[in-house]
């Protein structure tokens, strides 16, 4: 079913330390992110380097998390369509953001490193190959203006995780 989907998020700044934004160091970066009907809010801040609270999520981490989650969910769907039975999936995603010297900046790349465990060794090669299709189906990856690379590792359920890993594909 094709369609248009709308999402709503509420963000509330909690960083007024009594003088608002009187100076760059006068205010806190704490905020909360809420969505109606969700059980939990997200405690956010800026990155520590930008005077934020390292114990809270920052927007850069949330962007990488969104890309990782979207790819995983797209991958699981694609795997199902191709008859690849996935038993486990983890990702150690990283991203690079470069400041532009004018107070802004942009991400230059994100690399996803999914470790996918499949039930059947005969599907390992296919399991590696379908990351490309999953990437094409990921709404978040299609929405960003920087490359999202994939360095998957395919493991076989019940096998030694070192020697039986299928070669990783890169895109």
Note the helical H segments in 34-168.
59-82, 124-129, 131-137
CA distance linking residue 8 with residue 13, whole number of Å: 17
Q: How confident is the model at residue 16, as a pLDDT?
A: 87
Fold held by 59-156: GMP Synthetase; Chain A, domain 3 (3.30.300)
Query: Domain segments of the chain: what residues?
Result: 1-57, 59-156
DSSP of 114-139: EEEEES-GGGHHHHHHTHHHHHHH-T
What are 36-60's pLDDT values in tens digits? 999 999 988 988 888 888 899 999 9
What are 125-165's pLDDT values in tens digits? 999 999 999 999 999 999 999 999 999 999 999 886 554 45
């Amino acid at each position: 079913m094709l369609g248009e989907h709308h999402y709503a998020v509420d963000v509330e700044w909690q960083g007024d330390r009594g003088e608002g934004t009187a100076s760059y160091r006068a205010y806190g970066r704490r905020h909360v992110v809420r969505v109606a009907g969700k059980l939990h809010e997200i405690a956010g801040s800026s990155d520590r380097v930008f005077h934020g609270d390292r114990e809270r999520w920052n927007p850069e981490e949330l962007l990488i998390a969104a890309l990782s989650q979207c790819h995983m969910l797209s991958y699981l769907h694609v795997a199902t369509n191709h008859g690849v039975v996935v038993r486990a999936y983890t990702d150690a995603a990283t991203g690079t953001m470069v400041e532009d010297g004018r107070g802004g900046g942009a991400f230059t790349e994100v690399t996803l490193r999914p470790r996918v465990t499949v039930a059947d060794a005969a599907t390992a090669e296919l399991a590696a190959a379908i990351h490309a299709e999953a990437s094409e189906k990921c709404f978040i990856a299609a929405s960003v203006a920087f490359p999202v690379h994939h360095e998957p590792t395919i493991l076989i359920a019940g096998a030694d995780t070192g020697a039986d890993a299928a070669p990783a594909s890169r895109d």
